[in-house]
Chains A and B, each alone.
Chain A
């Protein structure tokens, strides 16, 4: 259990996050995606497969939520964040699903079968402590943002105005989530720098993106999912910027304080 002071600080961060989300970032699957431009959408097999793959990853939302909430008993700020996060992530899967259906690149039957194949598997959280899950979530949200940004660039190049906007809306949410987790990590660093550095080092060493290994036809999906995400991108586009946002360097990550193995 985290301290009362830390939990109160988490709550203040959540209120800041929530106010900003309510005032500047709310969007509707039905009204804010340019569905009227569907006739312009090209039939691109790989773009559709990537959209379906990210839709599948987002569909593990119930498992993700359960994992977070089970670790956050008594932590009002983070638990409420998770509830809001779940609402936003639900829209991501829905927007991608609607795109695939409305553009005619998948049928209702195909999406139902895909959904059943996805939901037949279960995602297990990779870490067992709330703080390690915060570290993991900060990296995961930024990795997802980078992936969506690359997919958006690809959709732009293919002249798909609908998918381009879907990825823009989703990516903006992912970045907001990432910033929230970074703020929570900063508070953890203020309270327990050595312990938080150990958790950071541990998660960097063991990080894996969630759920993609659980999807059907994994090999095909892996190549489209990682398009543009070359060797070292996790370090240069995720780890180093994250450390920078926390006021840390890579040397902090491997400092004496961080080298003792963290508890799982």
Chain B
């Protein structure tokens, strides 16, 4: 897994937890405005951590307000050897991220 995988992983995590298709996940989108409460957010993070093979420190979880915060948090937790870390994750997620229909729901 690399930083470029983060948007699709989060897209799937969102679907798995909420049973809804988020469509486009804007980087600036407020997590709560997407209908995700704090418990669902925790579950999404656990799913993403498992898929990406990383662990985010507990202390980082309280600062997540937007989709971009999520990308950054997970990007920073990726081992640097897997890519360019946060910079690459940010670049990947800079624009609106729209996951192709055929990729949605894939496990």
Contacts and interface: CB of A to CB of B under 8 A. Distances in A.
Interface of A: 204-205, 207, 231-236, 239-240, 244, 250-251, 253-254
Contacts of A239: 39, 42
Contacts of A253: 46
B77 to A, nearest CB: 14
Interface of B: 32, 38-39, 41-43, 45-47, 49-50, 58, 61-62, 64-65
Q: What is the interface of chain B mostly: helix, strand, loop, or mixed?
A: helix
Contacts, number: 42
A204 B37 CA distance: 12
Please indicate which of the listed interface residues A233, A236, A239, A244 has the most CB atoms of chain B within 10 Å of its own CB. A236
B47 to A, nearest CB: 7
B64 A232 contact: yes
B47 A254 contact: yes
Given A232-B62, A235-B61, A236-B58, A251 B38 contact: no
Contacts of A232: 38, 41, 61-62, 64
B39 A207 contact: yes
A235 B49 contact: no
A53 B83 CA distance: 52
Contacts of B50: 251
A253 B45 CA distance: 12
| Closest 10 pairs between A and B when the two form their complex, measured CB to CB | A236-B62, A232-B38, A254-B46, A235-B38, A240-B58, A235-B42, A232-B62, A250-B46, A234-B38, A204-B39
B39 A235 contact: yes
